[in-house]
Amino acid sequence: MKFRVRRNRPVELETLREIIARIMRETGRNYVRQYTIAIISMLVVAATTAFTAWIIEDVVNEAFANKNADVVWMICIAVLLAFLVRGAAAYVQSVTLAAVGNSIVAHYQQRLIDHLVSLNMTWFSTTRSAQIAAQIAQNVGGVRDVMNLTVTSLARDLITLFGLIIVMVIKEPVLSMMSVLIAPPVVLSLRYIAKRLRGATRQAVELNTRVLGAMQESVQGIAIVKAFTMEEQISARTGQLIRAAEERNNRIARLSERTSPLTESIAGIAISGVIAYASFQTIYGDELPGATFAFITALLLAYDPARRLARLQVNLERAAVNARMLYEILDTEPGQADPPGAADLEVEAGGIEFDNVSFAYHDGEKVLDGVSFTVEPGRMTAVVGPSGAGKSTLINLLPRFYDAQEGRILIDGTDITSVTKQSLRKNIAYVSQQPYLFEGTIRDNIRYGRPEVTDAEIEEVARLAQAHDFILAQPNGYDTPLGENGANLSGGQRQRLSIARALVRDAPILLLDEATSSLDNESEALVQQALETAMEGRTVLVIAHRLSTIYRSHMIVVIENGKVVQTGTHEELAARDEGVYARLQKLAGDNAVPGETEREPGAPEKTL
């Protein structure tokens, strides 16, 4: 087996034979019955095609030479039946292969989404989502094309050609030998073209993927494009990719279509030579022309399957490139695999401990360095610090979006790397700073938090998240379809739905990545009240910028440059004249504790 392993890339199948073998092994056995039906239909098509060439001798000799009317009627009926059978068999073959092809595409689409959601966050952080989508769209048909090309070439074209060659040999052995001489130069030329086509096809797929990715990103970020008048820049940058992809696709067309003049020229020489020789034999040899006409018919009918077989390697190489790139995604190791015998996490109190935790992205500089602190069960702990201090990274380690390189994270004394990820995440409700809503209705998006939840429970958590009233104001209430990422809702409304989705999960641990950052003052106050109710009896870890959130925390952990520099309550930290927390308070312009000052109505709340 010839495999090549590249750093940070999955194992890549190198040869065409290996990729076909893998597809047959993984996919072919699932469609044995369907392919059997298709192959039988192709055999019928091949047999009726050969029969058409065979009977030409009788047509010419009996109808035109011997003028035997009785035999002609029988021949006509036989030819009609042959074409009827051939048409029915071709229909069955085409419909069956189309159904199998569609099933293969659907199977690999499902397999891809199942595999993609199992990959760790590190893979997604180094791969652009738009290019992933574009690559999948381009390559998912590669497996189908390899399967169908292989089956049709072997069962239809090869057998049809073989049957016609038998007819040719029986009718005119000498002419058959002359025709065979054209095969070697054609095969050698096509193998050369196929080798050059492999690299060009991969480059074209990669360029087309970048083009589609750039277009998708431009549409998704259209507000930024217009706000910063980036239209010309985006158009110019994407245009360069489009022109590069166009040039590469033109090169593929030139390489692929070189087979046409080659095969057409050689076939023309062979057929014209055969006709000349056969005509000479008929004119000067005083022989009936039936056998010669049968041979020429078989030769002409053999041209199409021979041409398709000649191009088979070229077409397979192009399809195999797509299949290889698809398998590169499927062969990517998910990472963060559950350890053998991992148990499910059972959360009782919900205490969290960070024990000397260090983390760095992609072997770079440490984002967290020896972080240690404890989150008391059933209490709220706020993590504060300047931008880039490592707060979001800290939150992302708890549900194991990433794994710490050093140290441990424990829940109720259990190392989270020793339990299954699914059980860990089922015990955590998460609200990100940037809410994300999926395709579907408002009700569907809240239900993602817990699929078995009832409609009544959905409405209850929506009330807690202060979302019920604006949901009812939508055209279809809870059944209102959402635009892309909830584009038909405001930022605050999207965040409140995200909070409702977290609340419906009813998990003992709640992670809030500044969950109220997108809310206006009135909504923020209402949601804070709802969160206080929801947080009763739960352990809450929150990244906090707003002073109101910090004031309500039982414990504050201050992080700077990836290290814990201060811990304590707001009163304890505010009483210190120096330190990071005091500096952040001064930058916020508010050193007061709750109740000592009030914001003017409509004034924005100060943040750290």
Residue 7 has a pLDDT of: 38
Q: Is the pLDDT of residue 63 over 80?
A: no
The DSSP code sequence of 95-154 is HHHHHHHHHHHHHHHHHHHHHHTTS-HHHHHTS-HHHHHHHHHHHTTHHHHHHHHHHHII
Instruction: Indicate if 211 and 354 belong to the same structural domain.
Output: no
At 596, the pLDDT band (50, 70, 90 cuts) reads very low
Domain assignment of residue 387, yes or no = yes
Q: Is the pLDDT of residue 4 over 50?
A: no
Distance (Å) of CA 59 to CA 64, 166, 256, 322, 468:
7, 19, 39, 48, 83
Q: What is the residue whose two structure tokens read 């095609």?
A: 49
Q: Of the residues 290, 310, 330, which one is the last residue of a structural domain? A: 330
Phi then psi dihedrals of residue 538, to 5 deg: -115, 155
* Most confident region among 32-41, 275-284, 479-488 by mean pLDDT: 32-41
Q: What's the average model confidence in pLDDT over 93-120? A: 86
Q: Of the residues 304, 330, 356, which one is the last residue of a structural domain? A: 330
Instruction: Indicate if 76 and 134 belong to the same structural domain.
Output: yes
Domain assignment of residue 527, yes or no = no
Rounded to an integer, what distance in angstroms lies between the CA atom of residue 606 and that of residue 586? 11
At 415, the pLDDT band (50, 70, 90 cuts) reads very high
CATH code at 405?
3.40.50.300
Instruction: Indicate if 114 and 250 belong to the same structural domain.
Output: yes
Question: pLDDT digits over 166-190, tens only?
Answer: 888 887 787 777 666 666 666 666 6
Question: pLDDT digits over 8-24, tens only?
Answer: 444 344 577 888 888 88
Question: pLDDT digits over 142-151, tens only?
Answer: 888 888 888 8
Rounded to an integer, what distance in angstroms lies between the CA atom of residue 559 and that of residue 367? 11
Domain assignment of residue 528, yes or no = no
* Cβ-contact 509, 531 below 8 angstroms: no
CATH code at 173?
1.20.1560.10
Residue 595 has a pLDDT of: 33
Domain assignment of residue 559, yes or no = yes
Residue 593 has a pLDDT of: 37
Residue 183 has a pLDDT of: 64
Domain assignment of residue 467, yes or no = no
Rounded to an integer, what distance in angstroms lies between the CA atom of residue 269 and that of residue 276? 11
Measured at the CA of 140, the angle between CA 139 and CA 146, to 5 degrees, comes to 85
> Which one is predicted more confidently, 114 or 525?
114
Q: Is the pLDDT of residue 521 over 50?
A: yes
* Most confident region among 159-173, 385-399, 505-519 by mean pLDDT: 385-399
Cα Rg of the chain (Å, integer): 35
Instruction: Indicate if 123 and 182 belong to the same structural domain.
Output: yes
Domain assignment of residue 367, yes or no = yes
Range name among 83-92, 297-306, 365-374, 565-574 with the lowest pLDDT average: 297-306
Domain assignment of residue 533, yes or no = no
Amino acid sitting at position 407: G
The mean predicted confidence, pLDDT, of the chain is 79
Phi then psi dihedrals of residue 409, to 5 deg: -120, 125
Range name among 60-69, 122-131, 210-219 with the lowest pLDDT average: 60-69
* Residue 3, strand partner residues: 13
The closest of 331, 394, 397 to 558, measured between CA atoms, is: 394
Q: Is the pLDDT of residue 498 over 60?
A: yes
Q: Of the residues 330, 353, 373, which one is the last residue of a structural domain? A: 330
When divided into structural domains, the chain yields a total of 2
Q: Is the pLDDT of residue 504 over 70?
A: yes
Amino acid sitting at position 554: H
- Which stretch of DSSP H or E encloses residue 354? strand 352-360
Q: Is the pLDDT of residue 154 over 80?
A: no
Instruction: Indicate if 310 and 365 belong to the same structural domain.
Output: no
Range name among 14-28, 381-395, 453-467, 471-485 with the lowest pLDDT average: 14-28
Residue 194 has a pLDDT of: 67
Question: pLDDT digits over 543-594, tens only?
Answer: 877 676 787 788 999 998 889 998 988 888 888 777 778 777 776 654 433 3
Q: Is the pLDDT of residue 2 over 50?
A: no
Question: pLDDT digits over 395-411, tens only?
Answer: 889 988 888 889 999 99
Domain assignment of residue 203, yes or no = yes
Instruction: Indicate if 325 and 409 belong to the same structural domain.
Output: no
Instruction: Indicate if 322 and 373 belong to the same structural domain.
Output: no
The DSSP code sequence of 6-74 is -TTS--EE-SHHHHHHHHHHHTGGGGHHHHHHHHHHHHHHHHHHHHHHHHHHHIIIIIIIS--HHHHHH
Residue 238 has a pLDDT of: 81
Q: Is the pLDDT of residue 108 over 70?
A: yes
Instruction: Indicate if 363 and 310 belong to the same structural domain.
Output: no
* Cβ-contact 173, 180 below 8 angstroms: no
Q: What's the average model confidence in pLDDT over 216-229? A: 71
Instruction: Indicate if 420 and 301 belong to the same structural domain.
Output: no
| pLDDT above 90 coverage of the chain, percent | 11
Q: Considering the entire predicted model, what is its pTM?
A: 0.71
* Cβ-contact 518, 492 below 8 angstroms: yes
Instruction: Indicate if 307 and 397 belong to the same structural domain.
Output: no
* Cβ-contact 523, 490 below 8 angstroms: no
- Which tokens hold the place of 252? 């593929």
Q: What's the average model confidence in pLDDT over 53-73? A: 73
Instruction: Indicate if 252 and 349 belong to the same structural domain.
Output: no
Question: pLDDT digits over 237-255, tens only?
Answer: 888 888 888 888 788 777 7
> Could you give the residue ranges of the DSSP H alpha helices within 258-311?
259-285, 290-310
The parent domain of residue 371 ranges over 342-427+538-594
Distance (Å) of CA 590 to CA 270, 518, 546:
94, 21, 11
Instruction: Indicate if 306 and 388 belong to the same structural domain.
Output: no
